Structure 1
Amino acid sequence: MAGMAVLFKTDGIVTAADTDVVSDMLDSIAHRGNTNRSVEVFHELVAGVGRRKGENKDSPDNWAYCRSGELAVAFTGRIYNKPELLGMVKENRQEANMGTAALILRLYQQDATSFFRHINGAFSIVIYDKPAGEVKLVRDQFGILPMFIYKTGIHLVACSEIKGILKFPGYRRALNRKGLDHLLHFPGIIPPETMFLDIYEVPAGQMAVYKEGDVSFRAYWDMEYPEVTGSYDRRNTSELEEHALAILRDAVKSRMSDAGQQGVYLSGGLDSSLLACLSKESMESGIQTFSIAETAGGNDLYYQHLLRDYLGAHHHQLDFTLDLNNLYHQLKEVICDIERPQKDITAIFRKQLARFTRSHGIEAVISGDGADELFGGHIGYVLDSAGNRSMSDGKTYLERLLEEQLHNKIWGDPHFIYERPLSEFADLRKAFYQHSNTDTDAIPNCLDNVLLNTDNIRNRHVFNQRSYVDIKIRLGGHLLTSHCDRVNYSEGLETRLPFLDIRLAEFVRGLPPEVKNSYLGEKTFLRKVARKVVPAAIVDRKKFEVTKGRSAMALGNTEWFNDLLSYDYIKQRGIFNPALVEQLKKRLLSNEVDVGSAYEDNLLLLILSCNIFLEEFKIN
């Protein structure tokens, strides 16, 4: 269960039409398990929560309120440390069989918002506080469950997906060019920006507070690594490894403890293999694992079968081949699910895997997302370890100075490079967008604003700097949406992420950087942890990056490709530079670039999927 819709009216007049709007919003996200819904009215607030079939619609886990109705809580998601939170409630306020929402209400009455950081789970919470004149919308620490908001002069509208807000009669669809500019610069869109003008995403670890017609975002938790000279956990490496394994073991167990059919995604890599081994320990019956053959580049199939035999798992393999002639339909599906354009086609594979998994009666799946960002699983960590951080190649002194000023503004460190020096985007922006002259000031530049809390990047070890930025941009701005929540829930499948257990995050936060960091390869520390339970052949294998979707010539021969990227169509849309599109098409058809390349920014795919996005969501 993970669907919520909210409508708040500052004029205090709630009508039957308002409850109908909330019901329509829930209809639009019925795939999130909203077949058994409940809509409640608290003075100026109408809130709806959806549940899976068979769940009690009056469940105390979802609703709690004072007798007067002036303080109310709506909750959706899962909490894995409820006994710990119950222990925080004062004895005279405890109740037998206290539901989750009632528990949150009691804790809120005790200390307002400081307790949120102690919740371990994936959740969205709405708190209606009439005495304070506030509505608070709270999102879990990593943003596993989404929450979007839109406000007018007298309304606050919120929903688990943007398509719910689009049901609100007062919203007029328009493109947020700043969100598009995020996709040009980064792997994803950094909250609170979205692709829809005036619709905002509540950032992870924050709450949106609506008061007197205005919305502000307040952080209650962040992945705040110690400064370089700060305090770290200095136990010996063996103790640290055992502690990490104990946390992971319990994180997996708690996510597999409730009723319902559960499975485990198995790629054959380190992260999924470790979770599969720990899941096996928690399963009284046999473990069910799922994979998609097309994602198994190199020897992945070999390692999947090796672990299948090692665990005695009931393994289900989907043999899926990307049909470039059917790519339009597949792209359209995931773009509608994710509510944004795509820079790669990995989401297509994740959606097919989710559909396949759900067809076997699985309701929730364990997935290894988050391990790369916590433990250093991307190539940037290895390059950092080798000291590859120079921005000075071929630049004059003045160019270096301006570059360092920009990096200091965006990253809080003049020498930190995320994926590439930011100055490289200046010429790209001029060529990328359509405009009447060479002045691009009229087109929003996402680098004009500070995007992250640079205080949590400045004066940190480079490993922790990259991890922090990865968690915010790659994980929070891209993967949790494109690979987890939206594509899985579109098929009625819940995703559970043990690596994003808050206890593990806080443990990793205190690890000495030299324990995590190594120029010898990625995820050095996690490999040592995994070696205790995972076959050595899997632990010792090198990470294999997969390039999907070659045969570019076949793509160029499809009618929809030529229509959506024709010179006249691009020029009429007025967003992208048609001359650049023609050059990119020529390069693609000459096989100089691969569709969906894992590491190459595929601008043509971004343009193509943006045009599909605009058509599907009827944005002019």
Structure 2
Amino acid sequence: MCGIAGKFNFNPDHPIDRDRLVAMTTAVAHRGPDADGFYVGDGVGLGHRRLSIIDLSTGGQPLTNEDGTIWIVFNGEIYNFADTRRELEGLGHRFRTNTDTEVIVHAYEQWGDRAVDRFRGMFAFALWDAPKRRLLLVRDRLGVKPLYYCTTTSGVTFGSEIKSLLEDPDVPRGWSAEALDAYLALLYVPAPRTIYQNIWKLPAGHLLVAENGSVTIRRYWDLTFTGDGDPSREAAYLDRLEALVDESVRLRLLSDVPLGAFLSGGIDSSLVVASMVRSCPTRVVTTSVGFDEQAFNELEYARTVATHLGTESHEKIVRPDIVDLLPKLAWHLDEPFADSSAVPTYYVSKAAREHVIVALSGDGGDELWAGYARHRVERWEVAARQWLGIKGSRLAGRLAARLPLSVKGARSLRHLALAPADAYAQKHAYGMFENGLRAALYSPDFAREVRDADPFVGFRSAYQACPSSDPVDRALYVDVKTYLVDDIMTKVDKMSMAVSLESREPLLDHELLAFAASIPSTLKIRNGRGKYLLRRLLARRIPQSIVHRPKQGFAAPIGQWLRGPLVPMVQELLLDGRLKARGVFDDREVARIWREHRDGVHDHPHRLWTLVMLELWFRRFIDGVQRVQPTGAASDGVRAFTASVEAA
């Protein structure tokens, strides 16, 4: 795993500032602490930070072909590179290294942009074709690896993280009101936007070409749900699933450095570890973390799986200094991001890094195999609409609008008045600042500025674009195109890279995903529970108590932190006047939300966490360098904190 950065000027006579390129690359040194490298040509510069995983002696980057006409910087892994290399050697290509990076270069020489179709892995790379003065940026199919870019009239700046782009003075720093509105609704900024007006995420499964003074972006891959799976083939599907999971895991065991896995004791991580045990010649190393609060501690289940499979298990109880941690996370995340499971993800990555450099995870099981409650609810809502008809559904929705949301099922009844695409999009904002709550939160001026903003446009578009008529298939397609990439993959990449750990996700292998998309939803949801076929496979390998335990989720006790150690920080960040001065929020509404939560009148953990992470981002990336430090102790032993800002 690595970090990449670079700049391409359309005019070859416009030179690259090498010192600026070094600064852009150094900004992501945590992604690659082992080495750096640079290439500077006529109007183009490529930078690379390396975390050595494969071919430790000759794998340095940037890497070129034999005559120096093609250059590449690459972040990720191509797991089938050996097979592709043999094919290329048969076509006459000669290799100097044993790296997957060089395979990409020769594959481009042979097949051009379509070379990416042959790669099985996670990747983000920039390839410079000097004779054509052509820059190619590519991001993997599921967005496991990030890639950001900014286009100007003079060229393109890009990098693995936004902070690299911010080292380029040609990149504007203005923030986007529409992106901020979307963040408050979703906890993250959905692609292709970032919080910055002029910086963009290259969408998953897309490539960008810059040449001849213009930039084009196109999709090279998509996941297809056809809706024509046959439930009577359950036994055959199960056998094929087992073969694909084992193959996907085996491919991701390739490493020249210590390798292990995250183990929560849930369905997905347990399945990955069980498959690793079947393929690894040595004892599998697993890492698990939990909190003192029992509701947020899965160590008992992880221990059961580790004991059954005979892994070398490492457990850790996390007692975070959350006040010191949050500014650090805000810096690593680059833009506002409020999925609080970033905290345990950071700590499990940090704990794993004490023993391994590569860790396999179980991410992706929920999004492709219907693991969330919203998938089951979606099936019910669509069936209810069909039974009630259009008029009956609208009537039920209007009547439900009179019910408080505390009444079980009231929200789903309200959704019956909505089109299915709208209703499913709204499910992604539960517990956050939903439409009415955002409107109440905003200042009048900001409310006018975002009155036409639509945080859910990408969700509705994906729902409607899915060729399958099955509502569960459509829901899963939406999750793959939105939440999986912009929340889950962002969190895992940023938190693992924060400690220089490579995370690999075998359940997101694109061939396994294509198979999952062909499975009928009746083999994903059965008797009101998701991941039916995954559970059947897991039952062949681990105790039934794990297979059938309720889903817990990888969460953190943020509600308690917000009434405990974070109280001084929250009061400082939200109530010192600087948040009000930004002109975004009605400070009275912010104070009300904070007061109700602090005093135990109502619970607003996710909303407050969202505001805290937003203000930390503002102070670090817009105002300057954010530092939170103690200024003394109150009489009750609670520390007070102030924020000091230095010029950036």
- Identify the TM-score tier after normalising by the shorter chain: 0.7 to 0.9
Q: Do the aligned residues in 2 keep the contact of 1:548 with 1:595 (CA within 8 Å)?
A: no
Cα distance in 1 between the residues matched to 2:377 and 2:486 = 23
Q: Do the aligned residues in 1 keep the contact of 2:74 with 2:126 (CA within 8 Å)?
A: yes
Q: Do the aligned residues in 2 keep the contact of 1:567 with 1:579 (CA within 8 Å)?
A: no
TM normalised by structure 1 equals 0.87
Q: Do the aligned residues in 2 keep the contact of 1:366 with 1:495 (CA within 8 Å)?
A: yes
Task: Give 2:22's aligned amino acid.
Answer: S
1:89-488 alignment, distance < 5 Å: 89=88, 91-95=90-94, 99-130=99-130, 133-226=133-226, 228=227, 231-232=228-229, 236-294=233-291, 297=295, 300-322=298-320, 326-360=321-355, 362-387=356-381, 392=394, 393-395=396-398, 411=421, 418-419=427-428, 425-436=434-445, 439-441=448-450, 444-447=453-456, 452-453=461-462, 456-457=465-466, 459-482=468-491, 484-488=492-496
233-242 vs 203-212, which moves further: 233-242
Cα distance in 2 between the residues matched to 1:421 and 1:351 = 24
369-378 vs 92-101, which moves further: 92-101
Q: Which consecutive segments of 4 or more residues in structure 1 shift more than 6 A?
A: 402-406, 413-416, 448-451
| CA distance 1:434–1:415, shift in 2 (3 Å) | closer
Q: Do the aligned residues in 2 keep the contact of 1:434 with 1:574 (CA within 8 Å)?
A: yes
Cα distance in 2 between the residues matched to 1:508 and 1:249 = 15
Give SS of 2:215's match.
Answer: strand
* Percent identity for Structure 1 against Structure 2: 22
Give the CA deviation at 1:421: 9.7
Cα distance in 2 between the residues matched to 1:405 and 1:220 = 37
Residue 548 of structure 1 corresponds to which residue in structure 2? 557
159-168 vs 231-240, which moves further: 231-240
Q: Do the aligned residues in 2 keep the contact of 1:188 with 1:473 (CA within 8 Å)?
A: no
Give SS of 2:137's match.
Answer: strand
Give the CA deviation at 1:605: 1.8
| CA distance 1:441–1:384, shift in 2 (3 Å) | closer
Give SS of 1:263's match.
Answer: strand
Task: Give 2:581's aligned amino acid.
Answer: Q
| CA distance 1:117–1:68, shift in 2 (3 Å) | closer
User: Which deviations, in whole Å up to 9, do the C-alpha atoms of 1:508-555 show, x marking residues without a partner?
Assistant: 121122222334212111101111212222112121245623336734
550-559 vs 273-282, which moves further: 550-559
Q: Do the aligned residues in 1 keep the contact of 2:140 with 2:204 (CA within 8 Å)?
A: yes
Cα distance in 2 between the residues matched to 1:519 and 1:387 = 16
Task: Give 1:269's aligned amino acid.
Answer: G
503, 515, 522: which is aligned to 1:514?
522
380-389 vs 468-477, which moves further: 380-389
Residue 568 of structure 1 corresponds to which residue in structure 2? 577
User: Which deviations, in whole Å up to 9, do the C-alpha atoms of 1:492-521 show, x marking residues without a partner?
Assistant: 111011101111111112112222233421
Task: Give 2:375's aligned amino acid.
Answer: Y
Task: Give 2:5's aligned amino acid.
Answer: A
Give SS of 2:48's match.
Answer: strand
Q: Do the aligned residues in 2 keep the contact of 1:146 with 1:161 (CA within 8 Å)?
A: yes
Q: Do the aligned residues in 1 keep the contact of 2:225 with 2:468 (CA within 8 Å)?
A: no
Residue 406 of structure 2 corresponds to which residue in structure 1? none
Number of aligned residue pairs: 600
Cα distance in 2 between the residues matched to 1:477 and 1:394 = 31
Q: Do the aligned residues in 2 keep the contact of 1:382 with 1:520 (CA within 8 Å)?
A: yes
Give the CA deviation at 1:84: 3.7
Residue 405 of structure 2 corresponds to which residue in structure 1? none
Cα distance in 1 between the residues matched to 2:82 and 2:34 = 29
Task: Give 2:398's aligned amino acid.
Answer: K
Task: Give 1:336's aligned amino acid.
Answer: W
Q: Do the aligned residues in 1 keep the contact of 2:359 with 2:501 (CA within 8 Å)?
A: yes
Residue 40 of structure 2 corresponds to which residue in structure 1? 41
Cα distance in 1 between the residues matched to 2:211 and 2:515 = 36
| CA distance 1:351–1:594, shift in 2 (3 Å) | farther
Give SS of 1:146's match.
Answer: coil
| CA distance 1:253–1:448, shift in 2 (3 Å) | closer
Q: Do the aligned residues in 1 keep the contact of 2:180 with 2:195 (CA within 8 Å)?
A: yes
Q: Do the aligned residues in 1 keep the contact of 2:574 with 2:612 (CA within 8 Å)?
A: yes
Give the CA deviation at 1:575: 1.5
Give SS of 1:209's match.
Answer: strand
* Structure 2 runs not aligned, ≥5 long: 386-392, 401-411, 625-648
Give the CA deviation at 1:579: 2.2
217-226 vs 132-141, which moves further: 132-141
Task: Give 2:171's aligned amino acid.
Answer: Y
User: Which deviations, in whole Å up to 9, do the C-alpha atoms of 1:121-171 show, x marking residues without a partner?
Assistant: 111122223555532200011111111111222131111111111111223
Q: Do the aligned residues in 1 keep the contact of 2:368 with 2:513 (CA within 8 Å)?
A: yes
Give the CA deviation at 1:425: 4.4
Q: Do the aligned residues in 1 keep the contact of 2:189 with 2:336 (CA within 8 Å)?
A: no
Give the CA deviation at 1:41: 2.9
| CA distance 1:553–1:242, shift in 2 (3 Å) | closer
Q: Do the aligned residues in 1 keep the contact of 2:26 with 2:49 (CA within 8 Å)?
A: no
Q: Do the aligned residues in 2 keep the contact of 1:550 with 1:595 (CA within 8 Å)?
A: yes
Q: Do the aligned residues in 2 keep the contact of 1:433 with 1:576 (CA within 8 Å)?
A: yes
Give the CA deviation at 1:455: 5.5
| CA distance 1:171–1:528, shift in 2 (3 Å) | same
Residue 599 of structure 1 corresponds to which residue in structure 2? none
Residue 547 of structure 2 corresponds to which residue in structure 1? 539
Q: Do the aligned residues in 2 keep the contact of 1:7 with 1:157 (CA within 8 Å)?
A: yes
User: Which deviations, in whole Å up to 9, do the C-alpha atoms of 1:568-594 show, x marking residues without a partner?
Assistant: 333212112212202211221232444
Give the CA deviation at 1:606: 1.1
Q: Do the aligned residues in 1 keep the contact of 2:268 with 2:365 (CA within 8 Å)?
A: yes
Cα distance in 2 between the residues matched to 1:6 and 1:354 = 28
Cα distance in 1 between the residues matched to 2:556 and 2:527 = 24
Residue 637 of structure 2 corresponds to which residue in structure 1? none
Residue 504 of structure 1 corresponds to which residue in structure 2? 512
595, 598, 605: which is aligned to 1:586?
595
Q: Do the aligned residues in 2 keep the contact of 1:26 with 1:34 (CA within 8 Å)?
A: no
Cα distance in 1 between the residues matched to 2:370 and 2:286 = 25
Give SS of 2:558's match.
Answer: coil
Cα distance in 1 between the residues matched to 2:174 and 2:21 = 22
188-197 vs 37-46, which moves further: 37-46
579-588 vs 198-207, which moves further: 579-588
Q: Do the aligned residues in 2 keep the contact of 1:567 with 1:578 (CA within 8 Å)?
A: no
| CA distance 1:449–1:383, shift in 2 (3 Å) | closer
Give SS of 2:38's match.
Answer: strand
Task: Give 2:20's aligned amino acid.
Answer: V
Cα distance in 1 between the residues matched to 2:47 and 2:361 = 28
Cα distance in 2 between the residues matched to 1:166 and 1:580 = 33
**How large is the Cα RMSD of the aligned pairs?**
3.4
Give the CA deviation at 1:350: 1.4
Give SS of 1:95's match.
Answer: coil
Q: Do the aligned residues in 1 keep the contact of 2:341 with 2:556 (CA within 8 Å)?
A: no
Cα distance in 1 between the residues matched to 2:529 and 2:341 = 24
TM normalised by structure 2 equals 0.84
